Amino acid sequence: MAVSKRVRFEVLRRDNHTCRYCGVAAPDVALTVDHVIPTSLGGTDDPSNLVAACRDCNSGKSSSSPDAPLVQDVAQDAVRWSAAMKLATERLAQRTEAMNAYGRTFQEALGEYDWPAQDYAIVPPNDWQNSVERFYEAGLPIEQLTRALHVAMSKRHVGRYDKFRYMCAICWSVVNEMQEEARAILNAEEGTGGGQPGTP
């Protein structure tokens, strides 16, 4: 059974696009995925039996069993990679759920102003979810987002088609203030010898 493109991609990424036999790396050489224990000797297509290999090393190999240390090393790398991918998947799911909850909270607040018969009802653009996701990614607290919505809705001189844009302007102003404060914190830490976060 041929190794799938997905498995090939993951093995190359796991091995940092470097030949496990001689150490040369892409893009200096073309890499393939090689079976540590050849299939003719019972090797499988499991990632724990696959390594990145340059074409020279791969073509020079015969159906001979590799040293046990290499097999063990590859197997340990595969286990660590699998665990890391599982954790990355879980974290992505958590971030996605947090973003969805953020969007739902805003949508509920938006629903409070869904009064089509009123001149001051808000008419958000079709891609309003994209803006909300950008505010989430920028670190804007949901309380600040809903507050900006309420402020925009209180401005009777702002047309219903401009209220969302007005709200976004308020939000970006808050984000800029947050970024300025973050820079001030870093400057203060540097001034007291604290250095930047993560430095001794």
User: What's the confidence (pLDDT) of residue 63?
Assistant: 46
Residue ranges per domain, the chain? 1-111, 113-191
Q: What is the DSSP pairing of strand 50-54 with strand 31-35?
A: antiparallel
Q: What is the pTM of this model?
A: 0.58
Is residue 7 within a helix (H) or strand (E), and if so which, with residue range?
Answer: helix 5-14
CA 171-177-180 angle, to 5 degrees, is 145
Q: How buried is residue 66: exposed, middle or buried, by Cβ count under 10 Å (0-12/13-18/19+)?
A: middle
Question: What is the CATH number assigned to the segment(s) 1-111?
Answer: 1.10.30
In the block, residue with structure tokens 């947050």: 178
95 or 86: which leads in pLDDT:
95
Task: Give me the phi and psi of 51, to 5 degrees please.
Answer: -140, 160
Per residue in 146-183, pLDDT tens? 999 999 988 888 888 899 999 999 999 999 999 999 99
